[in-house]
């Protein structure tokens, strides 16, 4: 169950005069010689006339630039829009990503029109898929809790026709997959955008249950505070004990009958992060409703896997708590006993995400999965290192590289980072097995990764293959919309996680 509007896809031949759409979207590259029309289905005379006026119309071909023109002879639409594709590339994967981003940007900017057609002359199923994915990600509008002036909010595009000679029967699986991914990203964004007054541990758990209620082979188990205490989840309980709204652990399991692999997904679900006793500055709290993006991502990755009917057993562990300061909150120098018995000295209560994730990783390891991925808005240091659009991935080298490979195919930006052995000693504590901070501020993202690794279990005498995805930067966009990325929640990493699962089979 999702709250997103319906979106329809279809493919059509290059007969533009037969189109039933309001807007025809064409592409233009940015070259040293000026803007250059991309491949299209226009007749040569019309194309030459359009090419001749691009520069005069202010078209540059730069990414995200959308120029609207009145419809003209040879097309059946009232409007022709030129979307910038950026610099041309000869790399096939980069070309697909160009199509994905441009389609998403055009659909996002053309909100208010119900039907559009995109003509990049998609000559393969892969190209159709990339355009459809971008369009699905771009067709997103969230009024959130506003009740006034809703007429000013433009409705998302409802129908997208992709101009291609690919047969409908060949394109249909790709279009279906794009819709499933779009729904999963949509649901992730809406959860992350929900304010903490409305999304807290118990309500998040209920929304998770509702999200997968109609899916086949999916089960849900919710651990309340009593069960968490009985089962020894000291990290989740410790972080949540300062709030009047107690924590939750939600286990969402997709169990297809012919599963070939098993994957555990652990997600950070801090529904609001004040920093606890180690209180954040006021301005730093503003985007902290997004600190549960990892849990929203893994929830929707399981939903997508079920809808795609992947032959992979996928279990998501949503580690949910609200980090608040109060008389009952954990203090710096407290020691927590985590799931599995490891003791942790807490030196900074604002390094709380790794505490809930430690419980989740230890619990996930007990099921002996073939792989573990954890997804978390874990560190500000991630943004210091990589900015706001790149995510970091750390962990066992082979698994880490599989994530990077999946991200390239999915069109998302991940950068492989190390887990330096020489930094591990910084986690030594004089009073516990490990502490939740390093000895200095340097390399904070890597220290967090090393901490999490302590809680990854073994299978057949070896560490379970594991990767840690730190999505602190790209999970929430405080700047302007770009590509298929809206303001606020982005859904970043969902497509990469799903592609990782698909690549296993």
225 and 247 in contact (C-beta within 8 Å)?
A: yes
- Domain membership flag for residue 196: no
pLDDT of residue 2: 45
Of 189, 223, 243, which one is at a domain's C-terminal end?
189
Q: Are residues 111 and 253 in the same domain?
A: no
- Enclosing domain of residue 72: 8-189
The answer to whether the Cα torsion of 158, 163, 168, 174 is positive or negative is: negative
- Does 426 count as an annotated binding residue? no
Rounded to an integer, the average pLDDT of 449-453 is: 98
Rounded to an integer, the average pLDDT of 455-472 is: 97
Banded pLDDT at 5 (limits 50, 70, 90): low
Angle at 130 between CA 125 and CA 136, to 5 degrees: 120
Q: If you ran DSSP here, which 8-state letter would residue 482 be given?
A: B
- Domain membership flag for residue 454: yes
Residue 459, judged by CB atoms within 10 A of its CB (0-12, 13-18, 19+), counts as middle
Active-site residue, 424 included: no
Active-site residue, 354 included: yes
- Domain membership flag for residue 129: yes
- Does 268 count as an annotated binding residue? yes
Q: Are residues 310 and 424 in the same domain?
A: yes
The Cα 163–Cα 11 span in angstroms is 6
**C-alpha distance from residue 410 to each of 101, 185, 398 (Å):** 11, 13, 18
pLDDT of residue 357: 99
Q: Are residues 307 and 182 in the same domain?
A: no
Report the percentage of the chain scoring pLDDT > 70: 99
- Beta strands of 396-463 (E only): which ranges? 414-416, 434-435, 458-459, 462-463
- Domain membership flag for residue 487: no
Q: Are residues 219 and 184 in the same domain?
A: no
Give the residue from 503, 486, 505, 493 showing the smallest Cα distance to 105.
486
Q: Are residues 225 and 181 in the same domain?
A: no
Q: For the segment 300-348, what is each residue's pLDDT rounded down to a tens digit?
A: 999 999 999 999 999 999 999 999 999 999 999 999 999 999 999 999 9
Which residues are bridge partners to 162 per DSSP? Answer: 11, 118
Give the residue from 90, 80, 88, 169 showing the smallest Cα distance to 128.
169
- Does 352 count as an annotated binding residue? yes
The Cα 467–Cα 265 span in angstroms is 10
**C-alpha distance from residue 357 to each of 45, 325, 452 (Å):** 61, 20, 7
- Does 413 count as an annotated binding residue? no
Q: Are residues 158 and 262 in the same domain?
A: no
Q: For the segment 81-91, what is each residue's pLDDT rounded down to a tens digit?
A: 999 999 999 99
Banded pLDDT at 18 (limits 50, 70, 90): confident
* CATH code for the domain of 54: 3.40.220.10
Q: Is residue 198 scored above 60 in pLDDT? A: yes
- Domain membership flag for residue 347: yes
Please give the torsion angle defined by the CA atoms of residues 388, 285, 188 and 140, in that order, rounded to the nearest 10 degrees: -70
Q: Of the given ranges (74-78, 181-185, 236-240), which has the lowest mean pLDDT? A: 74-78
Q: Are residues 121 and 41 in the same domain?
A: yes
- The encoded tokens of residue 393 equal 């991935």
Report the percentage of the chain scoring pLDDT > 90: 94
pLDDT of residue 243: 98
Q: Is residue 4 scored above 70 in pLDDT? A: no
Q: Are residues 266 and 171 in the same domain?
A: no
Give the residue from 133, 139, 182, 184 showing the smallest Cα distance to 304.
184
- Domain membership flag for residue 366: yes
- The encoded tokens of residue 77 equal 């639409």
Q: Which of 121, 261, 280, 389 is catalytic?
A: 280
* CATH code for the domain of 212: 3.40.630.10
The answer to whether the Cα torsion of 127, 128, 133, 138 is positive or negative is: positive
- Domain membership flag for residue 128: yes
Q: For the segment 120-162, what is each residue's pLDDT rounded down to a tens digit?
A: 999 999 999 999 999 999 999 999 999 998 888 899 999 999 9
pLDDT of residue 1: 35
- Does 291 count as an annotated binding residue? yes
The answer to whether the Cα torsion of 231, 232, 234, 235 is positive or negative is: negative
- The three-class DSSP label of residue 363 is helix
**C-alpha distance from residue 300 to each of 364, 409, 474, 498 (Å):** 18, 19, 17, 9
Q: Which of 189, 354, 400, 402 is catalytic?
A: 354
Q: Are residues 415 and 275 in the same domain?
A: yes
Q: Are residues 139 and 254 in the same domain?
A: no
Q: Is residue 3 scored above 60 in pLDDT? A: no
Banded pLDDT at 283 (limits 50, 70, 90): very high
pLDDT of residue 472: 98
Of 189, 224, 255, which one is at a domain's C-terminal end?
189
Of 189, 219, 249, which one is at a domain's C-terminal end?
189
pLDDT of residue 112: 96
Q: Are residues 292 and 382 in the same domain?
A: yes
Dihedrals φ, ψ of 467, to 5°?
-140, 145
Residue 226, judged by CB atoms within 10 A of its CB (0-12, 13-18, 19+), counts as exposed
- Domain membership flag for residue 104: yes
Q: How many domains would you assign to the chain?
A: 2
Q: Are residues 130 and 275 in the same domain?
A: no
Dihedrals φ, ψ of 274, to 5°?
-85, -15
| Mean of all residue pLDDT scores within the chain | 96
The Cα 98–Cα 458 span in angstroms is 41
């Amino acid at each position: 169950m999702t709250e997103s509007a319906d979106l329809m896809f279809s493919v059509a031949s290059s007969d533009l005069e037969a189109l039933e759409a309001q807007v025809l979207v064409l592409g233009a590259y940015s070259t040293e010689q000026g803007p250059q029309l991309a491949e299209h289905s226009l007749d040569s005379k019309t194309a030459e006339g359009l090419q001749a006026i691009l520069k005069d119309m202010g078209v540059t071909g730069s990414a995200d630039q959308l120029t609207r023109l009145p419809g003209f002879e040879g097309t059946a639409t009232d409007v022709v829009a030129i979307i910038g594709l950026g610099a041309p590339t000869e790399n096939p994967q980069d070309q697909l990503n160009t199509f994905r981003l441009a389609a998403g940007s055009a659909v996002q900017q053309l909100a208010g029109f119900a039907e559009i057609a995109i003509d990049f002359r998609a000559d393969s199923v892969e190209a159709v898929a990339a355009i459809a994915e971008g369009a699905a990600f771009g067709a997103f509008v969230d009024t959130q809790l506003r009740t006034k002036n809703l007429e000013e909010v433009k409705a998302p595009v409802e129908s997208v026709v992709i101009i291609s000679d690919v047969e409908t029967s060949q394109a249909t699986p790709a279009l279906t997959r794009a819709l499933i991914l779009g729904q999963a990203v949509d649901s992730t964004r809406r959860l992350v955008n929900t304010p903490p007054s409305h999304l807290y541990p118990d309500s998040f758990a209920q929304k998770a249950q509702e999200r997968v209620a109609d899916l086949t082979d999916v089960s849900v188990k919710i651990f309340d505070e009593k069960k968490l205490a009985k089962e020894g989840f000291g990290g989740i309980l410790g972080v949540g004990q300062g709030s009047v709204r107690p924590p939750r652990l939600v286990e969402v399991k997709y169990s297809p009958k012919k599963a070939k692999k098993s994957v555990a997904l652990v997600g950070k679900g801090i529904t609001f992060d004040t920093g606890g006793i180690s209180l954040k500055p006021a301005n730093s709290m503003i985007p902290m409703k997004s600190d549960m993006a990892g849990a929203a991502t893994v929830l929707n990755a399981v939903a997508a896997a079920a809808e795609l009917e992947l032959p992979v057993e996928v279990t998501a562990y949503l580690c949910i708590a609200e980090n608040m300061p109060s008389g009952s909150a954990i203090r710096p120098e407290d020691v927590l006993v985590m799931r599995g018995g490891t003791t942790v000295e807490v030196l900074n209560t604002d390094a709380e995400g790794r505490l809930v994730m430690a419980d989740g990783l230890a619990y996930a390891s007990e099921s002996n999965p073939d792989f573990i991925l954890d997804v978390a808005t874990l560190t500000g240091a991630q943004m210091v290192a990589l900015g706001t659009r790149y995510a970091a991935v750390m962990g066992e080298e082979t698994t880490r590289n599989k994530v990077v490979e999946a991200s390239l195919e999915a069109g998302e930006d991940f950068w492989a980072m190390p887990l330096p052995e020489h930094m591990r000693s910084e986690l030594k504590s004089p009073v516990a097995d490990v502490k939740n901070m390093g000895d200095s501020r340097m390399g904070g993202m890597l220290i967090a990764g090393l901490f999490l690794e302590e809680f990854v279990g073994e299978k057949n005498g070896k560490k379970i293959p594991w990767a840690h995805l730190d999505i602190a930067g790209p999970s929430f966009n405080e700047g302007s919309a770009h590509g298929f990325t809206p303001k606020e929640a982005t859904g970043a990493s969902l497509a990469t996680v799903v592609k990782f699962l698909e690549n296993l089979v």
